[in-house]
Structure 1
């Protein structure tokens, strides 16, 4: 992977660094939001869940317009502008003393992060040949997981000194990236010719709704994101109900470490082999492994079984993520690439809904029922994936 990185042009390296640095900044503070909201604003657990979940949902919905801007503006101006917004959002969380201001800053952070991610993916499509994109998507996802693995440890060290310091470090990382990108960014990347300027936002939205393949894949992504988007949250909910707090902490720590280490070790090796030609088979394999992992969770009675189940689940995640990117990349017109990736980004809604739905099931039915529900979401998501993929095959055939 390091050899491949060295051979990439500077523009690709900057896009990858944007994804890594801003993910690291986000990961530094994300684990401490619950504690911070509780200690600083006196919120209950239910209110904290509402704040975190709703800011993620609002940011994801607004990022659809961000995808429209990716198609309309130069990548340089967009990434620089939203990097500044990302930095200001974290500065605001450090200084905010009113909940409404803190809430607004969280929305700004989630929105800026989502739009930059869309711009990064769109940039890959503009700068690399089709056969090279699956490899760069795998590198990006590996770096993202490195950020999520390292970030909480940095945040933990600072939080011991002062619980607000992780937000300040995140702002510093954002500011540092802004400075580098201001001087090193390519001002010409993905600028759209006047002849290719997209129609107004609502007109483009209607056009996207008519793309059967995109609608199916967006729904498939949203449904499967319920399963893998926030797996630590629903597994914690399940374990708190079925075991002791000490056992819950032990198992969650082990599965999170397993997930992070496997993604870092295997994502590039597996992801770079995923090709457009056999996309349906790769998706089938990934979803099957999700199903096997969820079944393993339902049957796990020891720490070893939890770790093995997470290992299987993680390989499914390693396959499905690049496969999603490759499918959207295949069907997206060059001048609407940002909007297509923005639509794909709506899968975050599924990630936000996962813990909510699992909480409802745990409150109403025996605990194992959450795994039946998750299995249904995998099947439903798979149906939409294959409907979209089949239609795409007919369209290109």
Structure 2
């Protein structure tokens, strides 16, 4: 019984077109390269160049805001112009940033690379999702692709830092050469997938929509706007498991805090890589409104466990991470699937790009968490977050239930 989901998932993966599988591999390797570098970038800048931590944080925050803010523009441009050329430009920009850090290491070059990478990711993230979706042969494959892409990205998040740790410990700039080669490979997979997209008989050839038409479609879809709002609040609540939880551990003066943080990261990765693989096909067939409510329920339990764990019992943190990861597994691919199914033909890039504005919740989470913890304490923050899951969950459930005729569930993959 336990082997059926794995077998079914592998069969669905083999059923994907070859260009789609190659594109998935390119995306996965690009994420591995990213996780080899960026988790250690703050330490490298501080120890090698003496950059203050506050300055590093400001630079990374600026990069995150740029990436999120420009994603809608990239989606709009991808629908109106040649999205392949935009993606190739994004890959070239990424490779240039890594070359800059490897050949001319310094505070200025690293800051320029952070901004350049933010710009490139704002281009690549929405357009790669659109390209991946366009290579599928039917709606069932599209739904599966959003789950398998999520799984591949999490595999990269588990593998990348382990490889990058060696380069970081040896202060080797060779990691940047690896990243350049990976983005060259991603470029080839994009070209191959774009050719397959042009040959896809399931895609209707349409002219590029006018900007006014795109904006009318976006603003006219109350469901789309409601999903973005719900996703923003959900991301804001979920992201408190990251930096704000670390702030709370510091406030509690937890012993061996680095060990606990490492254990929580490992628990998150292990749950995603094992549980999501086993439950993937069940989650694909689960009704949207039910999945959303289950995710908020798991998130509510996670925050309640953190609030209750005033005695700093290490297993309490791990149980909280397990429930939060359950919520992540259920809801993160769900939103990608919903946006993909809502987007009219010829406007998928625009809808995906606009939907990424919900990621601003992640950018606001550390500030919100720090302010509440400093003034009221961590227990107040996490009890408040647990209670906030109730209205957020009910809002999303009502939106999805009322829109059921508009969003017919996709059939499960063969």
Give the TM-score, by structure 1 length.
Answer: 0.89
Alignment partner for residue 172 of structure 1, among 178, 181, 206?
181
Q: Which 5+ residue runs of structure 1 have no aligned equivalent?
A: none
Corresponding residue number in structure 2 for 1:21: 29
User: What does 1:214-225 correspond to in 2, within 5 Å?
Assistant: 214-225=224-235
User: What does 1:254-293 correspond to in 2, within 5 Å?
Assistant: 254-275=263-284, 278-293=287-302
Deviation at 1:327, TM superposition (A): 1.4
- Counterparts in 2 of 1:239 and 1:105: CA distance versus 1, 3 Å: same
For residues 304-325 of structure 1, the C-alpha deviation after alignment (integer angstroms, 9 at most, x for no partner) is: 2222221111111100012112
Deviation at 1:152, TM superposition (A): 0.7
Deviation at 1:145, TM superposition (A): 0.6
CA distance in 2, matches of 1:163, 1:386: 49
The CA RMSD over aligned residues, in Å, is: 2.7
CA distance in 1, matches of 2:406, 2:277: 30
Corresponding residue number in structure 2 for 1:345: 356
Corresponding residue number in structure 2 for 1:47: 55
Deviation at 1:141, TM superposition (A): 0.9
Q: Which 5+ residue runs of structure 2 have no aligned equivalent?
A: 1-8, 409-414
For residues 109-138 of structure 1, the C-alpha deviation after alignment (integer angstroms, 9 at most, x for no partner) is: 233234323223223432231122222211
- Counterparts in 2 of 1:392 and 1:30: CA distance versus 1, 3 Å: same
Quick check: 2:271–2:325 contact (8 Å CA) kept in 1?
yes
CA distance in 2, matches of 1:230, 1:153: 24
Deviation at 1:104, TM superposition (A): 3.3
2:195 aligned counterpart, secondary structure: coil
- Counterparts in 2 of 1:257 and 1:325: CA distance versus 1, 3 Å: same
Quick check: 1:230–1:352 contact (8 Å CA) kept in 2?
no
Q: Count matched residues.
A: 394
Deviation at 1:144, TM superposition (A): 0.5
Runs of 4+ off more than 6 Å:
191-194
Quick check: 1:232–1:252 contact (8 Å CA) kept in 2?
no
Corresponding residue number in structure 2 for 1:364: 375
- Counterparts in 2 of 1:376 and 1:33: CA distance versus 1, 3 Å: farther
Alignment partner for residue 144 of structure 1, among 112, 131, 153?
153
Say which is worse superposed, 31-40 or 144-153, in terms of deviation. 31-40
Alignment partner for residue 320 of structure 1, among 295, 319, 331?
331
CA distance in 1, matches of 2:122, 2:275: 25
CA distance in 2, matches of 1:93, 1:228: 32
Give the TM-score, by structure 2 length.
Answer: 0.86
Deviation at 1:259, TM superposition (A): 0.6
1:161 equivalenced with 2:189 (yes/no):
no
Alignment partner for residue 8 of structure 1, among 13, 16, 32?
16
CA distance in 2, matches of 1:382, 1:87: 41
